[in-house]
Amino acid sequence: MNKKLKEIPKFANESEEREFWLSQDTTDYLDWSKAKKVSFPNLKPTTQSISLRLPLWMLDSIKTTANRQDVPYQSLIKVWLNQKLEESHLGAK
């Protein structure tokens, strides 16, 4: 079944485009059966610095564990957080 697709309008800015797609069904504008998977190997995700207060004993324990694994402690925290997020998403399905 070939449905006539609507034309995607031109947007003045990203905010306007975001608002548009929040209220639209993309299948009215795109034939997803023709979509191709792409990868962006050099794309670096944006990061934001946060302040996180931890008990000193916990931070010391994290640093000790990171030192044993020969990784920066902040990287270890990110790995652990990511693992928990993945577990959480798997459990939600």
Residue range 36-89, pLDDT digits in tens = 988 888 888 888 999 999 999 999 999 999 999 999 999 999 999 999 999 988
> Is there a domain that residue 43 lies in?
no
26 and 61, same domain (yes or no): no
> Is there a domain that residue 20 lies in?
yes
Which domain does 7 fall in, by range?
1-34
**Which CATH number does the domain housing residue 60 bear?**
1.10.1220
Closest CA to 61 of 80, 44, 42: 80
Tell me, what DSSP letter sits at residue 60?
Answer: H
Please give the pLDDT value at position 93. 58
Q: What is the pLDDT of residues 11-25, one digit of tens each?
A: 999 999 999 999 999
> Is there a domain that residue 1 lies in?
yes
Q: What is the pTM of this model?
A: 0.51
